[in-house]
């Protein structure tokens, strides 16, 4: 079940490290300016070619714990250091 307000086919941003390398999602951002979602791992994207656009459903299928963040307000993010650690929410600096 999808508890996000966005449809499962919503385009979201992630990195090739999460999708192609199977890296754990460490950071989630819900951008205030455009409402976009971003799901990234520990490896920093170096340039645009490291980013990918996928359906929200693909992210949920990779890591169902992101459902805990479905109510993350615009302009906020969340972080966790490991898969077993709880998500810690924070305000984005360019909020």
Which letter does DSSP use for residue 23 in this model? P
Residue 73 inside a domain? The answer is yes
What sign does the dihedral 48-66-81-77 (CA atoms) show? positive
Residue 64 inside a domain? The answer is yes
Predicted confidence at residue 2, as pLDDT, reads: 73
Q: Which domain holds residue 21?
A: 11-91
The number of domains in the chain is: 1
Residue 2 inside a domain? The answer is no
Predicted confidence at residue 57, as pLDDT, reads: 97
10-residue block means of pLDDT along the chain (95 residues)?
Answer: 86 97 97 95 93 97 96 96 96 76
Residue 59 inside a domain? The answer is yes
Residue 36 inside a domain? The answer is yes
Residue 6 inside a domain? The answer is no
Query: Quick check: pTM over 0.85?
Result: yes
d(CA 63, CA 91): 22
Residue 4 inside a domain? The answer is no
């Amino acid at each position: 079940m999808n508890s996000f307000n966005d449809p499962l086919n919503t385009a979201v941003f992630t990195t090739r490290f999460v999708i192609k390398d199977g890296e754990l999602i460490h950071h989630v951002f819900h951008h205030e300016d455009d409402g976009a979602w971003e799901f990234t791992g520990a490896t920093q994207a170096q340039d645009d070619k490291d980013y990918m656009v996928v359906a929200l459903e693909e992210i949920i299928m990779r890591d169902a714990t992101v459902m805990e963040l479905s109510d993350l307000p615009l302009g906020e993010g969340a972080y966790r250091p490991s898969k077993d650690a709880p998500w810690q929410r924070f305000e984005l600096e360019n909020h």
